[in-house]
Structure 1
Amino acid sequence: MLYHGPMAVYNELIGQGSLKEDDFQRTIIETLQDLHDRLMKYNPEPIVRDGKVAPEKERGFFSKLSKVFNKKEEERLAKEAEVARRAAIPKGLYLYGSVGTGKTMLMDLFYSSLERTDKKRVHFHNFMLQLHGRLHKLKTTTHQHEDPIPFLADSLAMESRILCLDEFQVTDIADAMLLRRLLEELVVVRGVVLVTTSNRHPTELYKNGIQRESFLPGIGVLEENCIVKCLDGGIDYRREKKTFFHSAKPKDRSKLASSSTMPTIVQDSSTILPDTLVDEKRFFWPLGPDTKKEIEMYFKSIRNGFQVTERRMNFLGRELVLPHTAGPIAMCSFDELCAKSLSAADYLTLAESFKVLILTGIPKLKPTTLHRNETRRLITLIDALYESQVKLICSADGPISEIFGGGSGAHSIDEDPSTMGQLTPAQRQMMDDLGLNDVSQVKKSPIFSGEEEKFAVQRAESRLIEMQGPGWGM
């Protein structure tokens, strides 16, 4: 019997040696296989555009009279129908756990093996950027005097009834306020099935966040409509040099979890990059004349005949000047990309524009003090490059384990113990920007406590290590 779905693909990858047998991962694959089978039988009701319902046919006098007398019966039947409708919606999956355990790989394996056209896979960062953009357009154009959320939910549900979100996290109050309603409108009302990965259990999302109580209904939707599973096998595969795997992107099923089968040449409609050696060095340190020379020689060796030119890129009305580009390759300094006020949207555009980025001059950062903004930007840049599978070459002041102040968002060794627990000038400025007054409450927020940075730093370190692996970006 022909067997379809993620379990068959997973077993094939195990048999090929592309993946190692992992009991934790196999448990998740079993859950995904069950979801796959249920989704293949799922036929949700069509979405009517712009929240409008089909007009009711004109009824005769006696039909209308009967409707009045049978109102309670109709209400009872309507409630039963609604219960049945909700019961028919397959529960999605909320997969959380430590960095590097294979959450993204498993979700993408599921996505690629699901033979439905009404599906969508997107990184959570990208998803929220798109949501805010579309919401702004609704508020300022077609639905200026109406609640825009139902219309936004309609358009999203018409695009996809199975939504896969990678790296679900809520750290921003604007995201929290939008998601608290949108999750219910999408999942409960319109029957969108959600499959998502995260570093946190749903109850830990937006922990200690400003006005968190307003976000709690969104957490309830996740817990009630998703099977919550933890993937914590204690292994960070990105740090296992012999077991690197690529996140399986929907656009390229041939790369499912395998680095050994990666082609050595990237071919686009107009550009070709040179071969990548398995033992190629991609992270150069410490900073100094020798490392600078190595980086320059590397850039020269991979230009493949392209001339070095300046390139100007426009991001939402802002201009970024890239002084050294050569075809699909860009070489930029840390200060040019991370010391300036660039956003996730800027980095996503950059990642979509180049196949190789050489990032020079990365210092040892102190995430909780001097370099908080720069650290966040570097993490966001790494996420964007990772998501687009851009080849990254770096020069830094130390090894990966020392870039983020000793790793895992730890406090820097040069912080003054006498000031620990006090807000920095930058944090006080952020309080002013948000209109906050209660310091005792604000200090508990992950925005200020560094709690969220710990997850982000761990993920960034893990991804940087994986991006040094053979075949990455090719």
Structure 2
Amino acid sequence: METTEIPRSSFAFDTVFAQLENGLTPQGVVLDSEQYDLAQQVVKFLQEATSDDATQLGQVGYFVYGPPGRGKTWLMTQLFEAAPYPVGTKRQVHFHDFFRGLQRQLGAKTSTREAIEATLNELLTGTQLFFFDELHVHDPGSAALLNRLLAVIAKRGIPTLITSNYAPENLLQEPAFHHVIEPSITILREHFSVQALDGGTDYRSLHAARDSGFASGRWLVAEPGDHPYQVLRSAGYMPPRPTEATTVLEGHRALKALAVRDKEIWFDFADLLQARSVTSDFMDLTEDYDHWVLTGIPKLSQTDPASRQRFVTLIDVLVDRDIPLVACATVSRESLADMEEPPPDLFRTQSRLALLRGQ
């Protein structure tokens, strides 16, 4: 494979590339040509961003998009972590954490504008390298916040890495609201290097099971006539007794759990996702419980749109926090999403569920 020479510095490409190779080798995967080329470009950008001539940079970062499982988050995370910035000056934020921070500020500020500015100050003050992972925008409120975030990043010249499943022009695709996202599209095209990453392979479908984290979980199927608890018991999990049922969270956020066992929590799909649960509920629960079991997962076409979207969000949160999930469903992963109008981002969920071990 031919490569271009990249100047040596404290951020040496050969060292970073060795880390990338070592990280992938245990799963039997090597960098494809697109990943390799992109890594070279980003390393060179980060070298220049940490040099004495950083103020002469013509761009503030990279926006990397493509289908799920192509290695966007993994590759950018490796480069982000290896970049030689002082401790405490690098900030990595997942999409859901970003908007959770805004929700906290909305409760403390008198206006939306004040809340937005407080959120941005909390994120960016003292930040010398920013990584925004899994950007996706499906509503005008999120678009307005993104507009302000990108404007501040561009104005301050903060080196930034962004990953997404969507090209800039495909963010907020709803025709009635697409105009709201146009300022962000303009900033991305004018101030970022926009790169597609799609080597044609969903690497999540090839990875071997892990001993920890989300990919150490299971996808179990209860066939017609099988009780889900029988399937779980056969797989080595002790189903909860009726006396273990409890309530988690408080007040209007209260949710019924089948069981809580130290750091392990059990939910039924209907109790968790057909209830009025929201993203912040899932995020708060992951702070207390680091192993999840979800039973009664139906074919998503048999549920309402809000429940489907909550399922997508739940998987996002569990993957981002690398929390093991044991899922017991009535259908296979392949049949889970058979429907005419799937919710936004369900394609990403399907890719992530491929990480779970089968029966």
Q: Is TM > 0.5 for Structure 1 vs Structure 2?
A: yes
Select the residue among 9, 12, 22 that pairs with 2:32: 22
- Structure 2: distance between partners of 1:467 and 1:42: 46
Q: CA deviation at 1:137?
A: 2.6
Structure 1 residues 287 and 156: CA distance shift in structure 2, 3 A: same
Q: Secondary structure at the match of 1:283?
A: strand
Check 1:18–1:98 CA distance in 2 against 1; reply closer, same or farther (3 A cut).
same
If the length of structure 1 is used for normalisation, what is the TM-score? 0.65
Tell me if structure 1 keeps the 8 A contact 2:64–2:164: yes
- Encode CA deviations 1:54-81: one digit per residue, 9 max, x unaligned: xxxxxxxxxxxxxxxxxxxxxxxxxxxx
In 2, distance between residues paired with 1:338 and 1:287? Answer: 22
| In structure 1, distance between residues paired with 2:212 and 2:154 | 45
Aligned-pair CA distance for 1:136: 4.7
- Alpha-carbon RMSD across the aligned residues, in angstroms, is 3.3
The residue that corresponds to 1:324 in the other structure is 259
Q: Are residues 215 and 265 of structure 1, via their aligned partners in 2, closer, same or farther at CA, if it must alter by over 3 Å?
A: closer
Counterpart CA distance in 2 for 1:148 and 1:375 is 29
Gap regions ≥5 residues in structure 2? 1-7
Amino acid of the structure 1 residue aligned with 2:287 = E
Q: Distance in 2 between matches of 1:316 and 1:94?
A: 40
Amino acid at match of 1:172: D
d(CA) in 2 for partners of 1:124 and 1:326? 30
> Larger C-alpha radius of gyration, 1 or 2?
1
Q: What is the alpha-carbon distance in structure 1 between the residues aligned to residue 24 and residue 218 of structure 2?
A: 28
Q: Partner residue of 1:458?
A: 347
Q: 1:356 to 1:298 in 2, by over 3 A?
A: farther
Contact 2:298 2:336 in 1 (8 A): yes
Post-superposition CA distance 1:107-140 (Å, at most 9, x none): 1111221232311112112212212432553335
1:320 to partner: Cα distance: 1.8
Alignment of 1:331-370 (within 5 A): 331-366=266-301
Corresponding position of 1:115: 84
For residue 226 of structure 2, the aligned residue among 254, 279, 289 is: 289
CA distance in 1 between counterparts of 2:239 and 2:272 reads 22
Q: Bigger CA drift: 147-156 or 120-129?
A: 147-156
Distance 1:164 1:281, change over 3 A: closer
CA gap 1:138/1:193 in 2 versus in 1, 3 angstroms: farther
1:381 aligns with 2:314: yes
TM-score, normalisation: structure 2: 0.84
CA deviations on 1:197-245 (whole Å, 9 max, x unpaired) are 11111111112353332321111111122111111111011112xx34x
Residue 340 of structure 1 aligns with an amino acid whose one-letter code is: A
Code of the aligned partner of 1:468: R
Question: How many corresponding residue pairs?
Answer: 345
Identify the residue that residue 3 of structure 2 maps to in structure 1.
none
* Whole-Å separation in 2 of the counterparts to 1:149 and 1:169: 18
The AA in structure 2 aligned to 1:180 is N
- Whichever residue aligns with residue 226 of structure 2, its letter is P
Cα separation, partners in 2 of 1:152 and 1:343, compared to 1, 3 Å: closer
Q: Look up the equivalent residue of 1:36 and give its one-letter code.
A: L
- 8 Å Cα contact 2:105/2:118 also seen in 1: no
Question: Structure 1 residues 356 and 302, CA, compared in 2 at 3 Å: closer, same or farther?
Answer: farther
Matching of residue 207 in structure 1 with residue 173 in structure 2: yes
Indicate if the aligned counterparts of 1:312 and 1:322 stay in contact, CA closer than 8 A. yes
The answer to whether structure 1 residue 161 and structure 2 residue 133 are counterparts is no
SS of residue in 2 equivalent to 1:215: helix
8 A contact 1:315–1:346 mirrored in 2: no
Equivalent residues of 2:264, 2:292 under 8 A apart: yes
Structure 1: any 5+ residue segments left out of the alignment?
45-84, 245-258, 267-275, 412-449, 470-474
Identity of paired residues, percent? 23
Question: Which one is further off, 126-135 or 100-109?
Answer: 126-135
Task: Report the CA distance shift for 1:314/1:159 in structure 2 as closer, same or farther (over 3 A).
Answer: farther
Preserved CA contact (<8 Å) 1:170 1:206: yes
